[in-house]
């Protein structure tokens, strides 16, 4: 297989995310990378969380990799990929409902997407037993699960490299080159296989985390 770099973003300055599309309230700072946290007003409850989308549409067969460092808990970090409207349109098409970071709009609204929660520390049961969850929506289907090797904030040692590979019907997920799970989408159990689409990040308040060195590759079979 051949990997072709199609998107590279160091995530260090305001210019790096100036074109990204916000849904919800995001506070942004910069250090080694870009630091994201949610709205200060915790009275917003489940409407205090946010999504932040890369504006480009990406192809079906891709590798996504970036470096991640959790800074403050509790909270949750997630990535969406292969996101499209339920009729195949862009997730920003005018005919789709407006979104503001409230999670049901993403898993049970009018978009189809894979979403992978790779740092889950929001609720007590998540903090007691750390897992990474892959879901497929529309429908909030839990399709794969693996152990979470990233420690809690007090034991974090630098950045952790996260990698997702989606090739045809297969999804592979790893942290620091440790493969945590694979999943085969049969295109029947939870709806048709999802192909290309948008990529976006999500955090649940009051999570604070830092991201840098985002790279996205298209994967091709060498002739």
Q: Which residues pair with 198 in a beta bridge?
A: 83
DSSP state of 18: T
CB distance 78 to 107 below 8 Å: no
Report pTM: 0.94
CB contact set of 152 (below 8 Å; sequence gap of 6+): 70, 73, 121, 127
Q: Which two tokens stand for residue 96?
A: 């789709």
Q: How far is CA 185 from CA 66, 154, 194, 218, in A?
A: 24, 36, 9, 19
Q: How far is CA 4 from CA 56, 118, 149, 153, in A?
A: 16, 25, 28, 34
CB contact set of 157 (below 8 Å; sequence gap of 6+): 151
Instruction: Write down the architecture of domain 2-220 according to CATH.
Output: Sandwich (2.60)
DSSP string over 110-140: SEEEEEEEEEE-SSHHHHHS-EEEEEEETTT
- pLDDT of the chain along its 223 residues, tens only? 899 999 999 999 999 999 999 999 899 999 999 999 987 766 677 778 999 999 999 999 999 999 999 999 998 999 999 999 999 999 999 999 999 999 999 999 999 999 999 999 876 666 667 899 999 999 999 999 999 999 999 999 999 999 999 999 999 999 999 999 999 999 999 999 999 999 999 999 899 999 999 999 999 987 6
Q: ∠ at Cα 15 (73, 216), nearest 5°?
A: 70
Helix residue ranges per DSSP H, the chain: 104-107, 124-128
Q: What are phi and psi of 65, to 5 degrees?
A: -140, 145
Q: Which residues pair with 164 in a beta bridge?
A: 64, 173
- CA 48 to CA 41: how far, in whole Å? 7
């Amino acid at each position: 297989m051949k990997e072709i770099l199609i998107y590279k973003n160091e995530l260090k300055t305001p210019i790096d995310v100036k074109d990204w599309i916000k849904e919800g309230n995001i506070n942004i700072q910069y250090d080694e990378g870009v630091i994201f946290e949610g709205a200060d007003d915790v009275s917003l409850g489940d409407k205090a969380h946010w999504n932040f989308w890369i504006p480009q549409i990406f192809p079906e067969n891709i590798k996504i990799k970036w470096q991640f460092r959790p800074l403050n808990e509790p909270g949750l970090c997630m990535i969406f990929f292969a996101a499209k409207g339920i009729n195949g349109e862009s997730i920003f098409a005018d005919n789709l409902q407006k979104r503001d970071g409230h999670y049901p709009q993403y898993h049970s609204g009018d978009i189809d997407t894979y979403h992978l929660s790779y740092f889950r520390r929001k609720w007590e049961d998540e903090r007691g037993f750390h897992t990474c969850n892959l879901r497929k929506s529309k429908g909030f289907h839990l399709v794969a699960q693996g152990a979470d090797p990233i420690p809690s904030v007090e034991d974090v040692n630098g950045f952790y490299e996260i990698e997702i590979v989606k090739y045809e019907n297969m999804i592979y997920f790893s942290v620091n080159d440790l493969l945590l799970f694979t999943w085969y989408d049969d295109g029947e159990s939870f709806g048709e296989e999802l192909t290309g689409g948008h990529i976006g990040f999500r955090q649940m308040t009051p999570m604070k985390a830092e991201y840098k060195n985002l790279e996205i590759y298209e994967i091709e079979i060498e002739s």
